[in-house]
Structure 1
Amino acid sequence: MLDIKRIPLGAWIGLILTSLFLICAIFAPWLAPYGNGEIVGDVWGPMTSTNLLGTDNLGRDLLSRMIYGARITIFIAVLATALAFSLGSILGFTAAVVGGWFDSLMSRFVDLLMSIPTLIFALVVLSVLPANILTLILVMGILDSTRVYRLSRAVAVDINVMDFVEAAKLRGEGRGWIIFREILPNALSPLVSELGLRFIYAVLFLSALSFLGLGVQPPSADWGGMVKENKDGIVFGIPAALIPAGAIAALAISVNLVADWILNRTTDLKGGRGNA
């Protein structure tokens, strides 16, 4: 059972920040003081009581744009990460269990995809396909699944030769049982650790694509696109571009703190059961 008093300070910071970002993402229409594209003041206006973070390059409320940007950024990153883990882990576990030609074919195909720089590959694909949210999720998820596949296969190969898996095979259990009931529960620790890293990679990847103009398209807002929109203001000492950049960094740190705590907790629980 979870003991709140034993949660370390770093995990508390990560949980609080991550929760705040999630609340902003879920309740954006109710939390934002203005509409996403509503012009409320002058260009790059200062911070006031009505515009707590000032205004952006078009005179829109920066706080409202940040809240709506959190929604789009986290929504796309979560779905892309879910797709990457669903696709990569299932294929990785299957390749380890089946082996033979299927394992060789999948591994060589993944090697081919990983040999191409991810950002360049995404830019080529997105320059041909329509740059909408569905396309972004599919491209990011499929490209990221190659990393998950490598990790899942490596973990599953080690688990697949253990005694309890051999016993399940002797009982006549099918491959589905072996993958989901024997391998998956014992591979959760490294996958949980990788989950935080992959989510942050998805956020950074999306931000990079938006900064280059092939990510989320205006008038929708995501944090990478907001950095691009307001980058010229840095020359004049306007912090409008630094605020979304700081939000990206804060989200990355908070999610990693939570992922590290979960990994340490699951490792400690397994160690405690083993000692018992």
Structure 2
Amino acid sequence: MASTLTRTLRQMPVTAMLGIAIIVAYAIVAILAPLLAPYGEAEIVGAQFEPQGGDHLLGTDNLGRDMLSRLIWGARNTVGVALVTTALAFAIGAVTGLLAATLGGWPDMILSRIVDILMAVPALIFTLLALSALGPGVWNLVMVIAVLDATRVYRLTRATAMNVIVMDYVEAARLRGEGTWWIIRREVLPNIAAPLIAEFGLRFCFVFLTISALSFLGLGLPPPMADWGGMVRDNAALITFGDTTPLLPAACIAVLTVAVNFVVDWMLHRASGLKD
């Protein structure tokens, strides 16, 4: 086990190592946010738009809240909600996709038509309409985005599982009398795990950016929760005066997205079996 890990680390490109280091750093900040943040996420500690320096290293926002503290708390809120949403989307999409591929027939047809209907509507428009109808709230946001992203996971899972389900060893398992869940768990899932893991990283990026975009539009995480997309909106007026404060949360979003893509690219390269 140790030798395998060592060999993997030696073969890992610099970009993947950098991506993993950034992801770990974000995770540490998110987990230890209450200890690292100088102030509470909603605590007003100064005047509006105080400059950077002094008691407030990155200045204050439009309500006088410490920007550094808001950025740290935003790591927990924005990344945490995106991770929960992605996990829920995968739970829904992967299970239904595996069932559709394994069972075939009417279950496959009904599930596929439902997914086609959901994918026919532009995702952002559907999300805005659903959130406007359901109202603001973290769980409403999570459920709407998870259902929409589950359609993409379903399509990938079903396509990859269909290539495995026709193999001779799967047919042999059926002839032995193995049940559907046994075939999914022991025969199908292990053979499609690599593309699904890579897709999880890509889905996380899309969900992360969607939540940030919705927060910028005012339909994301409800105030006073610290959220990077909402922080860009709240401080956007400073750009007119040449202040870089609104770019700080935007940079946090961009850096994490690039880091995750570095790791996903490496994982896809490994799964493909190609050599440099």
Q: Taking structure 1 as the reference length, what is the TM-score of the superposition?
A: 0.94
Which residue does 2:135 correspond to in 1?
A: 130
Distance of 2:265 and 2:169 partners within structure 1? 28
Residue matched to 1:261: 266
Residue 49 of structure 1, CA deviation: 4.3
Of residues 147, 150, 155 in structure 2, which corresponds to 1:150? 155
Aligned to 1:29: 34
- Corresponding residue for 2:20? 15
Q: State the aligned residue count.
A: 270
Residue aligning to 1:78: 83
SS of the counterpart of 1:37?
Answer: coil
1:18-57 equivalences under 5 Å are: 18-57=23-62
Match of 2:186 among 167, 181, 185: 181
Q: Cα RMSD (Å) of the superposition? A: 1.5
Instruction: State the one-letter code of the partner of 2:254.
Output: A
CA distance in 1, matches of 2:13, 2:57: 32
Read off the aligned partner of 1:60 and give its amino acid letter.
R
Q: Which residue matches 2:115?
A: 110
Give yes or no for the alignment of 1:2 onto 2:5.
yes
| 1:142 maps to amino acid | V
1:50 positional shift: 2.7
Q: Which aligned segments of 4 or more residues in structure 1 are displaced greater than 4 angstroms? A: none
* Residue identity opposite 1:255 in structure 2: V
Amino acid at match of 2:79: I
Tell whether the 8 Å contact from 2:195 to 2:271 is kept in structure 1 after alignment.
Answer: no
- For residues 253 and 120 of structure 1, what CA distance do their matches in structure 2 show? 26
Residue of structure 2 equivalent to 1:217: 222
Q: Which runs of 5+ in 2 are unaligned?
A: none
Alpha-carbon shift at residue 267 of structure 1 (Å): 4.4
| Structure 2 partner of 1:193 | 198
Instruction: Tell me, in whole angstroms, the C-alpha distance in 2 between the residues paired with 1:181 and 1:131.
Output: 41
Distance across 1 between alignment mates of 2:68 and 2:47: 15
Query: 1:44, 1:238 within 8 Å by CA — same for their partners in 2?
Result: no
**Distance in 1 between the 2:178 and 2:272 partners?**
28
Q: CA deviation digits over 1:205-245, x for unaligned, max 9?
A: 10111111111111111111111111111111121211111
Structure 1, unaligned runs of 5 or more = none
Could you say what secondary structure the match of 2:5 adopts?
coil
State TM-score, norm by structure 2.
0.94
Matched-pair contact (CA < 8 Å) for 1:44–1:240: no
* Matched letter for residue 260 of structure 2: V
Residue 189 of structure 1 aligns to a residue whose secondary structure is helix
Q: Does 1:230 align with 2:235?
A: yes
Deviations 1:174-213 (A, max 9, x none): 1001111111111011111111110010111101111111
The secondary structure found in structure 2 opposite 1:52 is: coil
